[in-house]
Amino acid sequence: MTGWRRSRLVASIVIAAFLIVQLAVPLSRFGDDTARRFGWQMFSSSSPAPDFVVVTSTDDIDIVLDDYLAMRRADVDFAEYMPPHLCSVVPDAQQVTWDGGSYAC
Domain presence at residue 47: no
pLDDT at 50: 82
Predicted TM-score (pTM) of the model is 0.55
Quote the mean pLDDT of the chain. Answer: 81
Domain presence at residue 81: yes
Residue 36 confidence (pLDDT) above 90:
no
Residue 41 confidence (pLDDT) above 60:
no
Domain presence at residue 76: yes
At 19 the three-state DSSP class reads helix
Domain presence at residue 45: no
Query: What is the domain range of residue 100?
Result: 53-104
Domain presence at residue 80: yes
What is the distance between the alpha carbons of residues 78 and 101, in angstroms, rounded to a whole number? 12
